[in-house]
Amino acid sequence: MIFNPRNILIINFGQIGDVVLGLPALKAVRAKFPEARITAMIGKSGAEIIEVSGFADEKIIVDRVKLRDGQKFSSIKEVLQIVRDVRRRKFDFVIDLHSLYETNLLGFLSGANYRLYANRENRSLDFLAKFEPKPPREDKKLHLTDHYLNVLKPLGIENAPRSVEIQPRPKDLEKVENLFKAHQSQRLVGLFPGAGNASRRWNLEKFAELARNLSLDENLRTIVFLGPEEAGLRAEIEAKFPPETLIVDKLSLLEFVAALSKLSVLVSNDTSAIHLAAMVGTVIVLIMDKRAPTTYLPLAEKIKLVNNHSIDEIKTFDVLQAAREMLENRGC
């Protein structure tokens, strides 16, 4: 079959980490169809990641949280507007990487002649797909990136790179370079103490102890990053961490990405920060419960996992040693 789509819609409604792990699939589609126009339909949280990647020509942003939690009438009205917008664009090929009931239905209503959907048991409306052969059935033991790439196998895409590295925008780099200007002679060690789920958060006192140990090396400067969810931690961090610790908050997502690219190492809980750091090639020390799944971790070479039977059992000494080891291996 000669298959040469010209106007492709790729759907991925995952969170930031899911979107980063889906970038290899998006890049592979771009490489397979270099002349096609590619539009990414993406959740609000991951939209800027798609923009900075450069792998899509355009994006359609859908606020799934607003649709889910908003007033029913308003949500229905917005869904209809999305459907009209998609039909207006006249896509000839839809790829649904996440494959939910609603996204499968949206792909069907798009009017596209070809529809390639992730084959997820009990999650997909597979009868609405229109592409042969079908992708392999979802294997939940696979890494998420490999799952996304498996969706593309019917296109003849095999052995695509499983990771990508993205360059931050110059304007974001300029801002963080000014922010860190006073510390140009020091190596920057970032700490990210937050995580969406309390079970993934290492004790803040242990982060403070780590910072105190790192501050003994005058060639290092410790930076604590706080996202919107960690704003309430600032007073406690100021009280517990060494006074020379630099606390950085209120960065935009892409400014945070640029800041991560300037670090010698990032020490973080299992959260979106590690995916953003991996995306720009930053060295990572990941603090993680042994029971947590590894199928969603960054596929990065420069990452060291420090874990134990529970996250509370992880010792500061072990994290400190991991950070020092990664600093040495980096040649800093």
Q: Are residues 177 and 238 in the same domain?
A: yes
Q: Are residues 184 and 320 in the same domain?
A: yes
Q: Considering 155, 181, 200, which residue would you say is the last residue of a domain? A: 155
Judgement on whether residues 107 and 57 belong to the same structural domain of the protein: yes
User: Model confidence over 253-309: pLDDT tens digits?
Assistant: 999 999 999 999 999 999 999 999 999 999 999 999 998 889 999 998 899 999 999
Q: What is the CATH number of the domain that holds 278?
A: 3.40.50.2000
> How many domains, in total, are found in the chain?
2
Here the tokens at position 128 are: 């609405």
Residues 233, 294 within the same domain: yes
Does residue 325 sit in the same domain as residue 272? yes
Q: What is the DSSP string of 236-258?
A: HHHHHS-TT-EEEE---HHHHHH
Are 29 and 102 in the same domain?
Answer: yes
For residue 314, the enclosing domain spans 170-329
CA angle (110, 115, 117) in 5-degree steps: 115
What three-state secondary structure class fits 316? helix
Q: Is residue 162 one of the residues assigned to a domain?
A: no
94 & 222 share domain: no
Q: Is the pLDDT of residue 80 over 80?
A: yes
Q: Taking all residues of the chain, what is their mean pLDDT, rounded to a whole number?
A: 93
Q: What is the pLDDT of residue 128?
A: 94
Digit-coded pLDDT (tens) for 241-256: 999 999 999 999 999 9
Alpha helices in the chain (DSSP H): 16-32, 47-53, 64-69, 72-88, 101-109, 144-151, 170-179, 204-214, 234-240, 253-261, 272-279, 316-329
Positive or negative torsion for Cα 200, 205, 208, 214: negative
Percent of the chain with pLDDT over 90: 80
Q: pLDDT digits over 262-274, tens only?
A: 999 999 999 999 9
What are the backbone angles phi and psi of residue 189, rounded to the nearest 5°? -110, 115
Model confidence at 330, pLDDT cuts 50, 70, 90, reads: low
Residue from 195, 197, 175, 194 nearest 256 by CA: 175
Residue 129 domain flag: yes
Q: Which of 124-138, 166-180, 312-326 has the lowest mean pLDDT?
A: 124-138
Summarize pLDDT for 54-74 with one digit per residue, the tens. 999 999 999 877 766 677 777
